[in-house]
């Protein structure tokens, strides 16, 4: 029933609205819990990405997706810090702007064939940044990662 209430409307909800809905906190028995107990912030972002790829939600702008990266504060944000695109205490606006700038640079530098081969979009870029962070956790040095990219 919750799904129908959210999505059976004449206009699609924004990605930010869906993310907030999936991570919404509600009062219950004197305490607070999430509306969906098994969905945390990372799962919510991944679900949103899947809904976009399935064309249920519209593709967000790079600024909008960058704002969610800031809110999540995990792998993609960490990778942007490691790459020197943002500082550790960057604001939501700064993270969004840096992510949008990176997206624009990649859209200009990659050929149409390269973008098509990797199904390039902001969702894929966020996933790639997370993988950069993960590779460093596994002990692969940034210089090697950048050489391979």
Quick: pLDDT tens for 66-86: 999 999 899 999 999 999 999
CA separation for the pair 56, 135 (Å, rounded): 31
CA separation for the pair 100, 47 (Å, rounded): 21
Q: 2-35 pLDDT, tens per residue?
A: 777 777 888 888 899 999 999 987 777 766 777 7
CA separation for the pair 35, 129 (Å, rounded): 29
Cα angle 72, 75, 78; round to 5: 95
Residue 40 has pLDDT above 80, yes or no: yes
Cα angle 35, 41, 43; round to 5: 90
> Which pLDDT does position 67 carry in this prediction?
95
> Which pLDDT does position 2 carry in this prediction?
73
């Amino acid at each position: 029933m919750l799904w129908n209430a959210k999505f059976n409307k004449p206009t699609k909800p924004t990605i930010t609205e869906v993310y907030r809905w999936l991570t919404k906190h509600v009062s219950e028995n004197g305490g607070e819990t999430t509306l969906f107990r098994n969905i945390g912030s990372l799962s919510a972002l991944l679900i949103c990405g899947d809904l976009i790829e399935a064309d249920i939600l519209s593709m967000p702008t790079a600024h909008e997706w960058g704002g969610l990266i800031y809110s999540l504060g995990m792998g993609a944000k960490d990778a942007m810090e490691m790459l020197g695109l943002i500082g550790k205490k960057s604001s939501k606006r700064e993270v969004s702007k840096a992510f949008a700038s990176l997206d624009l640079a990649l859209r200009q530098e990659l050929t149409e064939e390269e973008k098509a081969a990797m199904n390039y979009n902001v969702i894929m870029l966020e996933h790639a940044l997370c993988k950069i962070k993960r590779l460093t956790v596994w002990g692969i040095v940034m210089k090697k990662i950048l050489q391979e990219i």
